[in-house]
């Protein structure tokens, strides 16, 4: 700070600043008030602030960080919005499935369960594809037997459903 020829460097954090203030001559006490006011208004005052190279670098780093922060914030808000939307969609889908399940007849529910069991067994069968051990062969045979049995159950449930539908329409 430059006040009447004195210079003081101010260091705030890591940002050294050169601040200079200069004021014109002070009005004299013995002069009339009107001449003192005109003298004070004509007095020249100037403020000059300069930033050292280190300060400029720190300022540029802050600007870069704040722009990255803004980009990150936009991406995060977009991600959060899509996550929330996805969760809402999932819950809406689950509610819809529950509604459909309630509207399903008991036979339809059984058919759905048997289909899911068959799919699970088929997935287990796929997991055993690379294993050529005797235990894996035995498990494959058991899984295939279960799939055949469930397929038979599925066929009988479908036949019963068609019979029920025919009896209701008649």
pLDDT score of 24: 55
Per-residue pLDDT tens for 112-128? 999 999 999 999 999 99
Per-residue pLDDT tens for 140-149? 999 999 999 9
Burial (CB count within 10 angstroms: exposed 0-12, middle 13-18, buried 19+), residue 114: buried
pLDDT range class, residue 59, cuts 50, 70, 90: confident
pLDDT range class, residue 72, cuts 50, 70, 90: confident
Residue for token pair 């050292």: 52
CB atoms within 10 A of CB 157: 19
Q: Which two tokens stand for residue 125?
A: 């069968």
Q: Which two tokens stand for residue 131?
A: 């294993």
Q: Which two tokens stand for residue 163?
A: 């019979």
Task: Out of 46-50, 107-111, 115-119, pick the least confident.
Answer: 46-50
Residue for token pair 């969760």: 87
Q: Tell whether the model's pLDDT for residue 153 goes beyond 80.
A: yes
Q: Tell whether the model's pLDDT for residue 109 goes beyond 80.
A: yes
- Would residue 3 be called left, alpha or beta, if left means φ above 0 and alpha means ψ between -120 and 50 degrees? beta
Residue 11: strand pairing partners: 16
Taking the complete model, does pTM exceed 0.75, yes or no?
Answer: no
Residue 50 to residue 80: CA distance in whole angstroms = 43
- List all residues 6 or more positions away from 110 whose beta carbon is below 8 Å from its beta carbon: 157
């Amino acid at each position: 700070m430059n006040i009447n020829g004195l210079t003081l460097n101010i260091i705030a954090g890591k940002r050294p600043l050169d601040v200079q203030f200069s004021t014109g001559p002070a009005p004299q006490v013995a002069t009339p008030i009107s001449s003192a006011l005109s003298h004070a208004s004509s007095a020249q005052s100037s403020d000059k602030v300069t930033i050292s190279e280190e300060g400029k670098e720190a300022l540029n780093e802050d600007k870069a960080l704040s722009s990255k922060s803004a980009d990150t914030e936009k991406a995060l808000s977009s991600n959060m919005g899509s996550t929330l939307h996805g969760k809402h969609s999932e819950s809406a889908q689950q509610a819809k499935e529950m509604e459909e399940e309630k509207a399903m007849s008991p036979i339809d529910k059984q058919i759905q369960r048997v289909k899911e069991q068959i799919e699970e067994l088929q997935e287990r069968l796929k997991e055993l594809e690379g294993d050529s051990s005797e235990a894996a062969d035995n498990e494959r045979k058991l899984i295939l037997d279960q799939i055949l049995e469930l397929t038979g159950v599925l066929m009988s449930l479908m036949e019963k459903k068609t019979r029920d539908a025919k009896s209701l329409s008649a």
